Amino acid sequence: MTTVVEATELVLGTARTYGEEYVIMEDSVGRVLAEAIVATRDMPPFNRVAMDGIAIDYAAYAAGQRHFEIEKRIAAGDPIGTLSDRHKAVEIMTGAALPTGANTVIPYEALTIEGNIAHIVADRVVQGQNVHTQGEDLQQGATVLDAGHLLRPADLALLATEGKTRVRVRRPPSFAILSTGDELVPIDQEPLPHQIRRSNVYAVQALLRQYHVQSTLLHLADDPEVMHNQLSALMGKVDAWICIGGVSKGKKDFLPQVLEALGVRKYFHRVAQRPGKPFWFGATDEIVVFALPGNPVSSIVGTVRYVLPWVRSCLGLSWDYSMPVQLAEPFRFDPPLVRFVESELQHDSSGVCRATPRPGHGSGDFTRLAFTKGFVELPAEKTLFQPGEVYPFWPFPTFVV
């Protein structure tokens, strides 16, 4: 049986790039830059005033002057002005350009103003204070964001500053997410007593959405000939398939034989883990196929632990987005398999992140997932896991840091 480490290496070994595309800046959060963003001007582009007050020439203050006549007022957005007399002051607002001839800003809190005369009452004034110097943050020509950077909300301010209305990003692979099983009916249909609504595909689709993956949902009949025809018609239309169900040892688990008949080369079938042991993985030159077990928790574990790392690798990101956590409670698991256990996550008062295992009633119990934030990965070499021990935690994308 393939180990988790071996399965990871085989999956990541099929990662490839899928080209680039342009998106509008407002829709670029969560996309990966395909170009470096270079500063087209200094940041800030002028000596920017950082507090409301008066602007003076420090030399006058250093010579003992404490009372300054205000010769004019400058607001943010006004053209760059000039302090015409170094023994006078300019009343100035936050965000305004510092006038030529001035080099220091005294905030209102350090002043009293009577009529048109500002009196400095601060005990100490430092030359250059409250001035955000031109180019202090970035100089023209410097790299603002590197290619390969995963864009966050704060980055959009930088893109906007550089006038990037459209951004060149890496295109993620496209997916078909395929459910199997004659017991499944559409979600808008009332199921008979022996039926259930399709649900796994929606969770898997949502997990991929953080990376802006385009996906199509389809259902495969439990008939090898029909399944073969359905999958054959899908060839070349998307970059990857996620098949859910039909990969175990049941009499109607036809998917592995159908995939191999279609020319999909099998890399492995069955991984030494729980849940998700029957995982089948293969590829052709055109498509990559993740065939996950049909139990809900198994399909979500497979997506979180293998599909998302593969997508990240295709985008040039680090595939391993897990984070180390301490166990908050003891946990026992006897079979010699890697155990992925759904867990709550808390930070204690000292800042330590702790995971509390919350296993449900087997891999068919997906209700527990609504109260957890991801999976702790426990190694196969142990059976008893103690509080305080550190293990990888695979968060659902909403909680990726």
CATH number for the domain spanning 176: value is 3.40.980.10
For residues 335 and 256, membership in a common domain is answered with no
For residues 123 and 225, membership in a common domain is answered with no
For residues 270 and 333, membership in a common domain is answered with no
Q: What percent of the chain has pLDDT over 90?
A: 83
Cα three-residue angle 166-167-169, rounded to 5 degrees? 145
For residues 345 and 388, membership in a common domain is answered with yes
Looking at the predicted structure, is the pLDDT value of residue 364 above 60? no
Looking at the predicted structure, is the pLDDT value of residue 357 above 70? yes
What pLDDT, on a 0 to 100 scale, did the predictor assign at position 271? 97
Domain stop point among 70, 103, 132: 132
| Domain-embedded: residue 339 | yes
Average pLDDT on 279-304 reads 94
pLDDT band at 182 (very low <50, low <70, confident <90, very high): confident
- Structural contact between residues 186 and 197, judged by C-beta atoms closer than 8 angstroms: yes
For residues 60 and 121, membership in a common domain is answered with yes
What pLDDT, on a 0 to 100 scale, did the predictor assign at position 400? 47
Tell me which of 272 and 396 has the higher pLDDT: 272
Residue 98 structural domain:
48-132
φ, ψ at 318 (rounded to 5°): -60, 130
For residues 163 and 177, membership in a common domain is answered with no
Question: Which of 164-196 are b and which e, b meaning 16 or more Cβ less than 10 Å from the residue's Cβ?
Answer: beebbbbbbbebbbbbbbeebbeeeeeeeeeee
For the chain, how many structural domains are there in total? 4
Task: Say which CATH number the domain at 365 has.
Answer: 2.40.340.10
For residues 334 and 268, membership in a common domain is answered with no
For residues 207 and 270, membership in a common domain is answered with yes
Domain stop point among 272, 293, 314: 314
Task: Say which CATH number the domain at 88 has.
Answer: 2.170.190.11
Task: Say which CATH number the domain at 36 has.
Answer: 3.90.105.10
Q: What share of the chain is helix, strand, coil (3-state, %, to 5)?
A: 20, 30, 45
What pLDDT, on a 0 to 100 scale, did the predictor assign at position 366? 67
pTM: 0.89
CA separation for the pair 138, 143 (Å, rounded): 8
Helices (H), 119-174: 155-161
What pLDDT, on a 0 to 100 scale, did the predictor assign at position 295? 87
For residues 191 and 160, membership in a common domain is answered with no
- At position 393, the amino acid (one-letter code) is F
For residues 106 and 228, membership in a common domain is answered with no
For residues 151 and 222, membership in a common domain is answered with no
